[in-house]
Each structure stands twice: as structure tokens, then as C-alpha cells.
Amino acid sequence: MAGTRSPRLAAPVTLAGVAVLAMLAGGCVAVGGPPAAPAPAKVTPSGSRVAATKIPDGFLLHEREMTDVSDDFQVSPECFGEPMMHRSGRLSVGPGEVGVTQSLYVYADENTARSVLGKLRTKLATCSGFGGATVLDPPASPAWGDEAATITLAKPADGAGEHTGARVRYDVVRVGGAIVEITGYPEVAQIDQDARAIAGRLCFYDLDCAPRAGLPATQSVIADGEQAWVAAVGVLKVTDRPQLPGETVAAAAELGYHAAVVPTVCDEGADSALGLTGLGNYYTAVYFASEADAEAFAAALPALPVKVIRVRTYCF
């Protein structure tokens, strides 16, 4: 997986909360008039950096090209326990438009996810949806992510009579506290390719994931009133549609960073530096102690218009 493992240093991820900036009025009068009113009090931004309650939109691999993307689907507790968050989508692959389904499950901690996958290994065929099917390739444990399990089955006949006997590929991969399930038929190479590729972005759900070798560490302390250099990986204007912050969160995670999706009003200086006005704007931020560190991170993401700015952080 992308990144090395060391204690998490990044600011917490936030996907909810609307910031409200209170304004305090003050006044002044001419010399020799009535006593002057007190000088305006300095206003500190107020808002919310609450923990994410859902997987950020756009986080799944190829999500922009997917159909049937949803956070609201029934999870089989026998196979995937009780995840805190889940998200799924379907991708059509190749000229035959093979349907490849990708589902992501996020758990309270790594131990829970590890336990779920351990039990899942014993019933891969059943959890693939084709229990009792002929096994073509027996269960295997490729070195993807922290751990993985795969199986290939022959699709049984159904009422429609389509693809009977086709190879059904079923892959599950765990990184930290997250498990991804990728499956489809007839089997196409992209199923395994995506199972390997998505491991990098699952760093976002691994508290021990850290920057790749040669990349800088993030700022170790983020609190009210602290100054920091920020690599703004993406900006979400209140008027933008669609809003897919997960794409930029995933890009940072693939380098080993835990980005935060923050109301711009919570970082003093962000709105002016990014040319934003009004409330309801967010940005994907990675915090650093120096401009040089932020620029080094930005250079590692040449495909994205990363902007380095200086802010004072609030809303903690």
C-alpha cells in the first residue's frame, strides 16, 4: 500500500458542519466629542470540524464513471459485520460492459476490520453471492494492502440463463480499518487491477499510514490560533456540482497523507488566498509546519492544481 506506517500526524478529517462567522460591531467619533466607543473586538472564526459520518463522495476508485453509487444499501452482517460507514458503486468495463461492483466498508478500528476479514475468509463463496457454486480458482491470499483474499467461481444457472458457467471473480482487501470488496463476471483483468490499486487510497482509513519515503511530515500540532502552511488540494465552492471531495482526499492518501475537508471559514486567510466569498465553501487541506514542506507535497501531485497558502486555524 502507499505510504509507510508510523503514528498519525495529520489533522482530523471533517465532512460535516456549516460555519457561521459572528461579526461584532464597533464605532468611533471625532476628537473632542463624547467618549469613544470601545474598539471592535477581534473575532475568531467559528464553525465545525466534526468527524466524518460518511465516506466522502468521489472516494471510490473510478467513482466519477460509476452508476448506482450509494451509501444506502443493505449490508450482510454475516459477511461484513457492522461497519460504521459503507459506500458502493457499479462500473461498466470493456466493450461487453462487464459490471464490476466495488463496495467499501469502514469500521470503528483496525482490530474490528481484521476480525471481519478473518471470518470472511472462511465463507468467500457464500459472501460472493454464489454459495455452492463450483470453485474454479481456490481461495488465495495475495499481498495486496494489509491483507487480501480472493476466489474464482463458476456462475450457476439462473432464471435468465445468462452467463451460466462464466468466471466470477471475487476480491476483498483490507487496509487499516477499511475493507473493500470488488467483484464481477465474466471475469475481467480490471477486477484484480482495481483491488491492488485501491489499497493506496485506503491509507485514509489507516491510522498508522504515513508519507512515502522522501516526503515531508505534516504539522504535528493543529489547534485554535495556530499558524500553518496548507497545501490546498481541492476547493469545493458552495455552488459547485457535483461535489466530489473524495477524489482529492484519495489523491493525498495515495501519498500517505490524511487530508481534511474543512470549512474555509475555519482557517483564517483561506478564503482570501483562494478567492472565495460567503459561507458554505470547503477545501481539502493538508497542514505543514513550513512553506517548503507544503511545496514538496504539492510537487508530488503534479496532476492537481495544489495551491500553498498560510492560514491560522480555528474551529477546534
What is the model's pLDDT at position 4?
Answer: 52
Which position has the grid cell 468466471?
167
Count of the separate structural domains present in the chain: 2
What is the model's pLDDT at position 17?
Answer: 34
Instruction: Please indicate whether residue 240 or residue 80 has the higher confidence score (pLDDT).
Output: 80
49 and 100: one domain? no
Question: Which candidate, 57, 65, 128, 71, places its Cα nearest to that of 93?
Answer: 65
What proportions of the chain, in percent to the nearest 5, are helix, strand and coil?
A: 20, 30, 50
Confidence of residue 43 (pLDDT cuts 50, 70, 90): low
Confidence of residue 47 (pLDDT cuts 50, 70, 90): low
| Alpha helices, DSSP H, located in the chain | 77-80, 110-120, 124-127, 189-197, 245-253, 270-274, 291-299
What is the model's pLDDT at position 246?
Answer: 96
Has residue 289 got a pLDDT over 50? Answer: yes
Has residue 27 got a pLDDT over 50? Answer: no
Confidence of residue 46 (pLDDT cuts 50, 70, 90): low
220 and 304: one domain? yes
**H/E run at residue 171:** strand 167-175
125 and 166: one domain? yes
Has residue 309 got a pLDDT over 70? Answer: yes
69 and 190: one domain? yes
Residue 236: domain span: 4-28+44-53+213-313
Signed CA dihedral, 181, 182, 187, 192: sign only: negative
147 and 246: one domain? no
User: Does residue 142 form part of some domain?
Assistant: yes
48 and 72: one domain? no
Average pLDDT of span 290-316? 97
229 and 300: one domain? yes
Which of the listed ranges 11-15, 40-44, 114-118 does the model predict with the highest average pLDDT?
114-118
Task: Report whether 286 contacts 233 (CB < 8 A).
Answer: yes
User: Does residue 24 form part of some domain?
Assistant: yes
- Among 197, 227, 260, residue at a domain's last position: 197
Task: Report whether 2 contacts 26 (CB < 8 A).
Answer: no
287 and 217: one domain? yes
For residue range 140-185, list pLDDT tens digits in order.
999 999 999 999 999 999 877 788 999 999 999 999 999 999 999 9
What is the model's pLDDT at position 187?
Answer: 94
User: Does residue 189 form part of some domain?
Assistant: yes
- Among 147, 168, 197, residue at a domain's last position: 197
What is the model's pLDDT at position 38?
Answer: 47
Confidence of residue 12 (pLDDT cuts 50, 70, 90): very low
186 and 240: one domain? no
Average pLDDT of span 286-310? 97
What is the model's pLDDT at position 44?
Answer: 59
Confidence of residue 242 (pLDDT cuts 50, 70, 90): confident
Instruction: Please indicate whether residue 175 or residue 7 has the higher confidence score (pLDDT).
Output: 175
User: Does residue 37 form part of some domain?
Assistant: no
Out of 50-59, 118-127, 284-293, which region has the weakest mean confidence (pLDDT)? Answer: 50-59
What is the model's pLDDT at position 80?
Answer: 98
User: Does residue 234 form part of some domain?
Assistant: yes
- Among 197, 229, 256, residue at a domain's last position: 197
48 and 84: one domain? no
Confidence of residue 236 (pLDDT cuts 50, 70, 90): very high
What is the model's pLDDT at position 281?
Answer: 95
Distance, CA of 59 to CA of 14 (rounded, Å) = 14
Task: Report whether 286 contacts 251 (CB < 8 A).
Answer: no
238 and 276: one domain? yes
Residue 6 CA from chain centroid, whole number? 19
CA neighbours closer than 13 Å in the CB half-sphere of residue 79: 18
User: Does residue 8 form part of some domain?
Assistant: yes
User: Does residue 38 form part of some domain?
Assistant: no
Q: What is the CATH number of the domain that holds 156?
A: 3.40.1000
Question: Which candidate, 274, 247, 277, 279, places its Cα nearest to that of 261?
Answer: 247
What is the model's pLDDT at position 221?
Answer: 82
Q: DSSP state, 102?
A: E
Task: Report whether 70 contacts 92 (CB < 8 A).
Answer: no
225 and 181: one domain? no
Grid cell digits, residue 33: 466629542
What is the model's pLDDT at position 49?
Answer: 76
Grid cell digits, residue 85: 460507514
Has residue 21 got a pLDDT over 70? Answer: no
User: In this prediction, what percent of the chain has a pLDDT beyond 90?
Assistant: 76
User: Does residue 92 form part of some domain?
Assistant: yes
What is the model's pLDDT at position 188?
Answer: 94
Task: Report whether 289 contacts 215 (CB < 8 A).
Answer: no
